[in-house]
Amino acid sequence: MLSPGEFKFKVVRQLGQGGLGTVDEIEVIETNRSYAVGTRLARKRLNSAWAAEPRAIERFEREITTIKIMSHPNILPYR
């Protein structure tokens, strides 16, 4: 059972990869009304090689904070 706002997804394809993370296109496959099934989103994730490195985690979190406030046609909005 999914909690309100939760959803399950599958990775469709990798969109890009940088020094700290990877961006994947994902598709919602099960939902509890946060997104419709079939909705495609982008997901940025920290590479596992950096998961135990505090400075890398801090930098990754700064990137996410910056993405949250950006508004540009080539950048997906953070939700």
Q: How confident is the chain (79 residues) per 10-residue block, as mean pLDDT?
A: 86 93 93 87 90 93 90 80
Q: What is the pLDDT of residue 73?
A: 84
pLDDT at position 10 is 97
Q: What pLDDT, on the 0 to 100 scale, is given for residue 4?
A: 79
Query: Rounded to whole angstroms, how far apart are CA atoms 67 and 25?
Result: 17
From the list 78, 2, 4, the residue with the least C-alpha distance to 42 is: 78
User: Is the CB of residue 15 less than 8 Å from the CB of residue 25?
Assistant: yes
- pLDDT of 1: 78
